[in-house]
Structure 1
Amino acid sequence: METISLLYDEDCPLCRWYTRLFVKYGILDTDGRISYNKYVVLHPTKVNADIAQTKIACIDHQTNQVYYGIDGLLLVLGNRFKLIRILGNFKPINLLLKFLYLFFSYNRRIFAPVKKRTVECACEPPKSILWRTVFIASLSFFTYLIVTWYFEHFLSHYMLINTPNDLILLMAQIGFQWGAFALFRQKNSYNYLGHLVFTSFLGALLLVFFGAGLQLLNLFGIQTEFLAVVFYGITILFMFLEHKRRIQLKEWTWKLTLSWVVFRILIYPFVFQI
């Protein structure tokens, strides 16, 4: 593996994490994991910066060729696991992998947020309205499915007969917070909306965990109506704290978290029996 170097975004926690795993388990040599910023200083013409911002670069020193994105990862993993290389290069699977790669790459600073920087990283993913829209739409849809499942199975006793569709409420929250963002004259709504939707998605995943536990308790004949409300409250608290954490990391105004709470207070009378 000494013949391969994988460049990674040093400011991206996800990139640091998985490249460390590659080194730890012998997929990459110790010196095969190189910071993109440091490498381009020493070799300014070796890597196409426009591509490497989005697709991680992998250099094959034997052929002196640079691979990007999924092609680079398949090169690294394929040298250790031949089956991965064979399956990964199968066209339908390869197309799916490339789609997923771009989905994660363009939104990697949302999955793993970092502090606001005064100097822009040379490996910062560029802004893409398309991929951010795909991100927001897909996570909103999965959040809707999970929340609807939890409400119907565990909170139906506390809900009004005719409640607004959960997807409509989620879209309303996005619109409400977008308006608040503009009202408070904050910068970079492109990133804020990504963090907002991802926070809701994390809350939905927590509901999946709680819902599985409630179903297990139901199998033993344990009543879980009140416990379901407690778990939902814990989820809301988690989302509040996560939203607040991300706001602070990006140095946006605390008023955004306040508006997040206000929206919740405004909609709950239309959803739950008081």
Structure 2
Amino acid sequence: MKSSKNMDSKVIIYDDVCPLCKAYTSGFVQAGWLRPENRIGFAEAPPELIRRIDVDRARHEIPLYDRATGETLYGKEALFFIIGEAIPVFKPVFRLRLFRAIVFGLYQIITYNRRIIANSRPPANGFDCAPDFNGFYRWLYIGIMGVFASLLLYRAAPVVDLSSTILALLTGIAIIRGCFIERFSMQTDYFGHLATVLFIIAMLNFSLQNFPLTVLATTCLGIWLFYRRIKGLRSQLW
């Protein structure tokens, strides 16, 4: 599918240390909705392009800049425009208030937690477009991940045994350790990583519940993933 003429002058500037941002913007290119040269990472974006956008807003909402008009669309509006140009039948849906409200909420949860979800680090060089810390959306994300992980593990409960007790014990220990982190933002980072890992474990347990030693294997995997994720926080654990 070729990109529409309306997309020829559009440039999307994405967080190039965020695997999520890389994946979906690359998907736009692979689908033919966006030209490869019209997809630029923040670290490689020329200074004159950065000066033309609201940098503070762009850290939280991905910008789609129009070189011809100088107009910039941000966040969900940028995504709606790209998808709407590629698949016009969706344009009426994108105008529905309820749909826009739902997408806005999901977008906020993801954008404020994208560095936690993908476990990405600041770039070595160039502009770091990390979002500000937002306690509301961080705890909302932790709560959502916790609920989904609990539901998935509950569904898998009939086929788990001692291994599930070990998982629950280790989770309890991890939660207690997190309570001793002094800085609030670091504490929520810690619990955000923990919630993400628990969700991954729950998904694997639910998907592979008929295989032997699933919980034990996924628990070991979860310990390794969690250890990797909290490298920068370990000095704050006690």
TM, length-normalised to structure 1: 0.73
SS in 1 for 2:208: helix
RMSD: 3.0
Partner of 2:4: none
Residues in 1 aligned to 2:69 and 2:57: alpha-carbon distance in whole angstroms? 20
Structure 1 residues 40 and 125: alpha-carbon distance in aligned structure 2, compared to 1, 3 A threshold: farther
- What secondary structure sits across from 2:224 in the alignment? helix
Alpha-carbon displacement from aligned partner over 1:138-196 (angstroms, at most 9, x marks no partner): 11111111112222x2137x69xxx9xx7xx89855640213444xx998223222111
- Out of 7, 14, 32, the residue aligned to residue 13 of structure 2 is 7
Residues 1-274 of structure 1: matches in 2 within 5 Å? 1-39=7-45, 41-115=47-121, 121-151=127-157, 153-155=158-160, 172=172, 175-182=175-182, 188-211=186-209, 214=210, 227=212, 230-248=213-231, 251-253=232-234
Residues in 1 aligned to 2:39 and 2:116: alpha-carbon distance in whole angstroms: 23
CA contact (8 A) 1:244 1:254 kept: no
Q: Conserved in 2, the CA contact under 8 Å of 1:139 and 1:198?
A: yes
CA shift, 1:236, in A, is 0.7
Q: Equivalents in 2 of 1:237, 1:150: separation in Å?
A: 18
Calculate percent identity across the aligned residue pairs.
Answer: 24
Give the secondary-structure state (helix, strand or coil) at the position aligned to 1:188: helix
* Distance (Å, rounded) in 2 between the aligned partners of 1:173 and 1:145: 21
Aligned to 2:3: none
Matched-pair contact (CA < 8 Å) for 1:196–1:243: yes
Stretch moving more, 34-43 or 65-74: 34-43
**Conserved 8 A contact 1:144-1:170:** no
- Cα 1:232–1:170 change in 2 (3 A) is closer
Structure 1 residue 98, shift from structure 2 partner: 1.0
Count, aligned residues: 229
User: Is the 1:55–1:105 contact (alpha carbons within 8 Å) kept by the matching residues of 2?
Assistant: yes
Which SS does the other structure have where 1:10 is aligned?
coil
Per-residue deviation, 1:3: 1.6
Verify the 8 A CA contact 1:203 1:239 in the aligned structure 2: yes
What amino acid is the match of 1:247? I
Change (3 A) 1:238 1:88: same
Runs of 4+ off more than 4 Å: 116-121, 169-174
The runs of 5 or more residues in structure 2 that have no matched partner are: 1-6
Match for residue 265 of structure 1? none
